[in-house]
Copies of this chain bind each other. A is one copy, B any other.
């Protein structure tokens, strides 16, 4: 309890402790999240996603500096995907993070899955809540790849920026990967390279369908994050989107969408955890595997029996 008191008082060590506890699914996780929940809902969370090599880290760094520069406090979550061997977090990012943490308004945290499918997106959502309750104005969430974790994280954030580079391949590839649907703002980075004009018009063309459907604008911004070019425009677009989300009906529907996501993900995840601990404990699972290997039964009848047995 004393850690929470220190957390409420703005203590950074307490913040780090609570994040670790939540990320590692410590025994107090649910109690802490329930306790801090009334303090959440004030921060703006921004997901930055896109294919590897699109310069997401750089965009993240520059945005971070812009927010901090106008006095806003920033929490950065760098999400590494499941990596059964390395645990996910790589040295390069660690080093980069030490650079950024020199700014005391900026708190950076790298997250790596502990191997449980779906667990990473849930833990990330919960760490967003912790940073929100702590009082951070802005929470930047940077993901690594283009996949389910990214789609989940995008759903958890208030605004999603999708970063691409001219070499990212045809924009149809981006569309395939589901990026068109999740993007509130597109950022074509390394915009000095060949083909950037073409990719911007292609994205705009595809976005026109979405614009028509949703009756609103989805901007495409060209940037060279490494040279700080276009970053002001990107910030402006984020601010505009933030304004939109705060207005009247948009506010209510946006908040409810987020609450829905939190409920769904939390219930699913807690149910899965119970599954692993009781119904499919390692010993039971081992017996089931041996039976099926020996030709008795199959996974589908087994699943039906186990799930029907509940309640």
Contacts and interface: CB of A to CB of B under 8 A. Distances in A.
Contact of A147 (B149, B167, B267, B289): B149
A291 to B, nearest CB: 9
A41 to B, nearest CB: 10
A280 B307 contact: no
A256 B82 CA distance: 22
A35 to B, nearest CB: 9
A154 B90 CA distance: 22
B81 A148 contact: yes
Interface residues of A, number: 82
Interface string A279-311: 110000100111011010011111110110111
B292 A263 contact: yes
A34 B144 CA distance: 38
A276 B26 CA distance: 27
B275 A267 contact: yes
Contacts of A300: 30-31, 33-34, 37, 266
25 contacts: A33-B298, A34-B301, A37-B298, A38-B295, A52-B169, A52-B176, A82-B148, A83-B175, A86-B175, A90-B175, A92-B172, A117-B152, A147-B147, A147-B150, A148-B148, A167-B167, A255-B293, A263-B289, A263-B292, A263-B299, A267-B299, A267-B306, A270-B303, A270-B307, A274-B307
